[in-house]
Structure formats: C-alpha cells, structure tokens
Amino acid sequence: MSIVKYQYYIIFIGILFTFNIYSNDLAQEYVDIAGVQFKVIKNGESNRRFIWIHGDEKTAAVLLKRHLKDNYGTAFLIENSNREVFINGYMMDPNRIFSKAGAEKNLIKFNDKISKPAVDQLVNLIANDKEKFFDKITPPNGGLLIALHNNLRDYSIDKEIPFSTEVSLKNSEHPHHHNFFICTNRDDYNLLSKSPYNVVLQETQPKKDNGSLSWFVARKGVRFINIETRLGYLSIQTKMLQYVEEHLE
C-alpha cells in the first residue's frame, strides 16, 4: 500500500472510530420544560435515569456521555453551554425552577426589573410543563434518578449539612468536602455511607424550598442521588458513579 493510500486509510478509520464513539451522542429525542431543552441519550433498557442540568459543569457532561457508552440507562442532557438559561427572555437557574417559591425567587434574583405579571406568567408556564417533564425523567420500577454536578467556588457539603437528616463524613478537609453524595432514600444512604465518600441523607422537606430538582423528586417519592464533585475532578466522579452502579440496585 502506498504512503498516500495508507494516510487516507488511517483518516477513514479515524472517522469511523470517531463516529462509533459519538454515535449515541446523537439524540433520539428531546424533552423540554418551559422551552428549556434536554437531549435524550439512551443505551439499552434500565431503571437508571441520569440528568445533567447545568451547562457549565463540563466534567459531569464528559463523564455521563462516556458512562452511557458502557452502561445501560437513559440520560437527559441540557442543551445549553452556560449555567443559566433563558425562558421567554428572562434568565433563570434551571435547577431552581421546580417549586413556585423557588422559581419566583430565582426570577427576581436574575431579573431585577421583572414585573409581577411577568413573574406569574413564567411561574405558570413552568408549572404547566413540570409534571410532563417529571414523567419523562422518572425511572421505572423504583429505579434511580442520578444527577451529576460540579462545583468550583464555595459550595461544599457544608452547605447541605443544615438541610440533612443524617451525615456521613469521611473527609471534610479542602478540597475533599467538595466531593459528596446527596441522597433522598434511607436504604441508599445506608449503602453509600459504607463508601469512602462523604454522604448526606435529605429525606425531610425544608421549610423554604429553593426549587431544586432534588427536593421536587423527593416529594414525589423518587429515589434520587446527586454525585457532586469539584469541577475537573473527573477521576473521583467516575469512581463515585461506579460505586453507585456496583452497590445500589
């Protein structure tokens, strides 16, 4: 084979290899809540559901796409590159829209000149879509909904302890206090507390709901786990996700 033909052969193989890696990154469908779109990626049949909700938390996205190549489940990935989204032209944190109080507070926080009628209209828009979105992301047969998040600044397990029923601290020093599980099911907590990672159990609703997805699905009785790590800590988040896969039904 000539050098030129060999080079073309290598390029062709590279294209096929790339297509194979990213072929399941082509969405079979999309779901949305109030116009905020999520790409749906599916690999086989499973009672695992995964969600990536903050577009700036890139480590979680990389892990989730990679994980779905070798593990069964369905993932919902937000179609957004930034942390905040726009709904009808108004900025919002997509993880603060799952309660009326949370959505209202979030709208006012990011849009200081928004009118009361505009707030009411957007809150109603979200409320009308919320149950439909919930039905799409709910795992079947008592399965797990797993969220992947990354943090960068002052957010750590210390922020969640006041809202938690029980806490299992393995390493509370910086930067390890940025890496932890949040779960809403006591049986899941008991298993995760045996892991080498920090865990909090949140099974009691707070007096002031901030509108996060975790509190919303907890009210619905869905088993939920958030795998939270420092941004860029791909190896740690990979090990935490693998621990969940190996130890939780």
User: DSSP assignment of 165-181, as one string?
Assistant: SEEE-S--STTGGG-EE
- Please tell me the predicted confidence (pLDDT) of residue 22: 41
Q: What is the pLDDT of residues 57-85, one digit of tens each?
A: 999 999 999 999 999 999 999 999 999 99
187-223 exposure pattern, b = at least 16 Cβ within 10 A, e = fewer: ebbebbbebebbbbbbeeeeeebbbbbbbbbbeeebb
Q: What is the pLDDT of residues 79-117, one digit of tens each?
A: 999 999 999 999 999 999 999 999 999 999 999 999 999
Does the pLDDT at position 191 exceed 90?
yes
Token digits for 152?
């960068």
Say how many residues make up the chain.
Answer: 249
In the three-class reduction of DSSP (H, G, I as helix; E, B as strand; rest coil), residue 158 is classed as helix
Q: In what order do the strands lie in the sheet with 36-43?
A: 29-33, 36-43, 73-78, 48-52, 144-151, 223-230, 180-183, 198-201, 166-168
What is the percentage of the chain residues whose pLDDT exceeds 70? 89
- Please tell me the predicted confidence (pLDDT) of residue 37: 98
Give the H or E element holding residue 75: strand 73-78
In this structure, the strands spanning 144-151 and 48-52 are: parallel
- Please tell me the predicted confidence (pLDDT) of residue 182: 98
Distance of CA 157 to the CA centre of its chain: 17
Does the pLDDT at position 203 exceed 80?
yes
- Please tell me the predicted confidence (pLDDT) of residue 11: 35
- Please tell me the predicted confidence (pLDDT) of residue 9: 38
Domain residue spans in the chain? 27-247
- Please tell me the predicted confidence (pLDDT) of residue 12: 41
- pTM score, two decimals? 0.88
Query: Distance (Å, rounded) from C-alpha 145 to C-alpha 221?
Result: 11
Does the pLDDT at position 200 exceed 80?
yes
**pLDDT level of residue 153 (50, 70, 90 thresholds):** confident
Does the pLDDT at position 47 exceed 90?
yes
Let me know: does 141 contact 45? Beta carbons within 8 Å. no
Does the pLDDT at position 134 exceed 80?
yes
Question: SS3 sequence, 183-233?
Answer: ECCHHHHHHHCCCCCEEEECCCCCCCCCCCHHHHHHHCCCEEEEEEEECCC
Average of per-residue pLDDT across 153-179? 95
* CA-wise closest residue to 183 among 142, 150, 226: 226
Average of per-residue pLDDT across 228-238? 98
Does the pLDDT at position 242 exceed 50?
yes
CATH assignment of 27-247, among 3.30.1490, 3.30.1370, 3.40.50, 3.40.630: 3.40.630
Distance of CA 186 to the CA centre of its chain: 20
